Amino acid sequence: MEFSQVQRHEADDVVAFMTAEEWPFHTEPKPDGETVRARVASGAYDDAFWIVDDGTRLGLVRLLDLDDGTPLFDLRVRASARGRGVGTAAVRWLTSHVFTNYATNRIEGTTRADNSAMRHVFTKVGYVKEARYRDAWPGPDHLHDSVGYAILRRDWATGTVTPVDWSA
């Protein structure tokens, strides 16, 4: 699997990717093409990377807030590529990429509580569940709980997992 940085001149490709299918666990499950195009033009995808395997774009990972000390990310994997380890490879790659190239102590990610696949990826890659936000994620028919995960630089560097001290 390879990761290639999205270029602004690839706006048509980003729009096609983002609007080709629904993203059921995202706050915007069916993005509008013009909105995506405007986001590309404004630089919102400057820190985004195509997830490519054997010449096929399987997904897109967008890094956010790289300069504020606690970056986040948005991960999209095509429905046809889900369940094949693409998400796990992408989160491993982005974790290494961020800790190798940026002075940050932690990376955070949030997902809907009912997104069991993403929750499994977080745990598999060494992220620790740190929060549950009740009725915090808008859905088409009701609010969903969301769950926050994070990995610390020291855990990534040593291959360990430091659990949250819930008694403090």
Tens-place pLDDT, residues 94-114? 999 999 999 999 999 999 999
* CATH number attached to the domain at 2-158: 3.40.630.30
Q: What percent helix, strand, coil does the chain show, rounded to 5? A: 35, 30, 35
| Mean local confidence (pLDDT), 9-19 | 97
Decide: helix, strand or coil at residue 133.
strand
Domain assignments of the chain as residue spans, ordered by start: 2-158
Q: What is the pLDDT of residues 26-69, one digit of tens each?
A: 989 999 999 999 999 999 999 999 999 999 999 999 999 998 88
Confidence (pLDDT) at 111: 97
The span from the CA of 128 to the CA of 6, in Å, is 29
| Mean local confidence (pLDDT), 70-77 | 96
pTM (predicted TM-score): 0.94
Confidence (pLDDT) at 144: 96
Confidence (pLDDT) at 84: 96
Residue 22 has pLDDT above 90, yes or no: yes
Confidence (pLDDT) at 95: 98
Sign of CA dihedral 159, 164, 118, 108: negative
Give 46's contacts (C-beta < 8 A, 6+ positions apart): 6, 8
Q: What is the pLDDT of residues 114-131, one digit of tens each?
A: 999 999 999 999 999 999
